[in-house]
Structure 1
Amino acid sequence: MPRIPVLPTLLVLAAAGVMVWLGFWQLRRLDEKEALLARYASAQTTSEEVLWPRDKAAQEQLLYRRARIDCAGAANRSSMAGHNAAGESGMAQTAECVLADGSRALVVLGWSRMPMAGGDWNGGTLHGVIAPGPRLVAEPSVAGLEANAIPDPSEIPNNHLAYAVQWFAFAVTALVIYALALVKRGRK
């Protein structure tokens, strides 16, 4: 009976063990992501409007909630790729909302096919939805722009089960390949 090499065997077993651990880690992440998505879906159905939260942690806790922000002014107009309410691709028109205390918040004013459209907005009260970033997506849109697509948490991928299956499959594949290599080595 041929001798099994110790170091390569230990390395393959350690690698397979890490892959199995990563698979279970992804399963734990699956539960966390499902809870997060459920919280977002619940926030989306809450009709009560909140004031724009000042700190980042509160903004993250209120993602997908309806909110209001009072902008004393506007700065740093820009545009980014986005979709309108009908799902057409174009440019989401953004600005930094200057708050009364001088702090700033990113707001999406509306949508246009053209970059840098709707440049006449200089501030005011905006109503909308807190989106990842975080940013407030105005609803209704302002400055003569078309309506943006409202952020939808159902568009956030939850691939953790697929990742877990991949890690388990990698572990099994590594063990099978190593076993075949040992069999082939034993025949020599």
Structure 2
Amino acid sequence: MTDPTRPADVAASARRWPLIPTLLVLAAVAVMIALGVWQLQRKADKEALIALYQRNMAMSSLVSYPELPPVGDRFLYRKSSVVCLEPVRWDQRSGTDREGRSGIRMIADCRTGAEGPGVLVDVGIGDDFAPPKWMGGTVQGTIVPGPEQPTVIARMTGKAIPARAMLIADTPVAGLRASGVPSADDTPNNHLAYAVQWFLFAAAALVIYILAVRRRLRP
């Protein structure tokens, strides 16, 4: 015998608020909100770091060059001096001089002792890839992050190799133009935009889910 209440029960069950999907959506929204809050915290940390870099740029006293990575933030954008006994390798990269003209940066990997890591020195901007006829010497300049920096994925996976610093020479070697020195103000700080994006994603996911469930519960 057919139960006459069965269809009504099925319809009512179908119109109940779905518990498990709701919990999954709320969990996803909570994760997105947490990521947004984390980006706001990173924004504050990055602002403090930029302020430190700006103070470093204002100092005229020399600091000892940090030969061993990782390089502490207190060294970046400070003035320093190194003795390059011999350039053992040249790394040519695109760059600009202090007047904004493009060219090829001449980065020397210098030997500073019998053993151990050397130092990277940007000795100037050339018009072609031919390295300068420079055999080394004392170089004074500004400490900046080296050209080889770990990627975000490498940092997240714990496989990042500590980045080396680099010294941009105040006075270029003969035949080259002085390389442009990065500013602390060029340090990217996009964390506010990332935070807003995560909050918008969370709000959009919640609104879309609520509309979908209301449509399902509509008799």
Q: TM-score range by the shorter chain?
A: over 0.9
> Which one of 183, 186, 201 corresponds to residue 152 of structure 1?
183
Aligned residues of 1:40 and 1:63 also touching (Cα < 8 A): yes
- Matched residue SS, 1:141: coil
- Matched residue SS, 1:108: strand
**TM-score, scaled relative to structure 1:** 0.93
- Matched residue SS, 1:17: helix
Matching of residues 5-84 of structure 1 within 5 Å: 5-84=18-97
- Matched residue SS, 2:208: helix
Offset of 1:90 from its aligned partner? Answer: 1.9
- Matched residue SS, 1:34: helix
Offset of 1:143 from its aligned partner? Answer: 3.2
Give the 3 Å change call, closer, same or farther, for CA 59–76 of structure 1 in structure 2. farther
Aligned residues of 2:40 and 2:192 also touching (Cα < 8 A): yes
1:113 equivalenced with 2:144 (yes/no): no
Of 69-78 and 99-108, the range deviating more from structure 2:
99-108
Aligned residues of 1:78 and 1:116 also touching (Cα < 8 A): no
Which aligned segments of 4 or more residues in structure 1 are displaced greater than 6 angstroms?
none
> Which one of 101, 122, 130 corresponds to residue 135 of structure 2?
122
Question: Which blocks of at least 5 consecutive residues in structure 2 are unaligned?
Answer: 1-11, 147-164
> C-alpha offsets along residues 129-165 of structure 1, whole Å, 9 cap, x if unaligned?
1011211111111132101001211111111111111
Offset of 1:58 from its aligned partner? Answer: 4.6
Question: Which blocks of at least 5 consecutive residues in structure 1 are unaligned?
Answer: none
Letter in 2 for 1:169: L
Larger Rg: 2
Offset of 1:57 from its aligned partner? Answer: 3.8
> C-alpha offsets along residues 55-114 of structure 1, whole Å, 9 cap, x if unaligned?
224554300001101111111112012111111222111111110243311111100221
Aligned residues of 2:67 and 2:118 also touching (Cα < 8 A): no
**TM-score, scaled relative to structure 2:** 0.81
**How many residues were matched structurally?**
187
Aligned residues of 2:90 and 2:131 also touching (Cα < 8 A): no
Offset of 1:121 from its aligned partner? Answer: 0.9
Q: Please name the residue that 1:139 is paired with.
A: 170
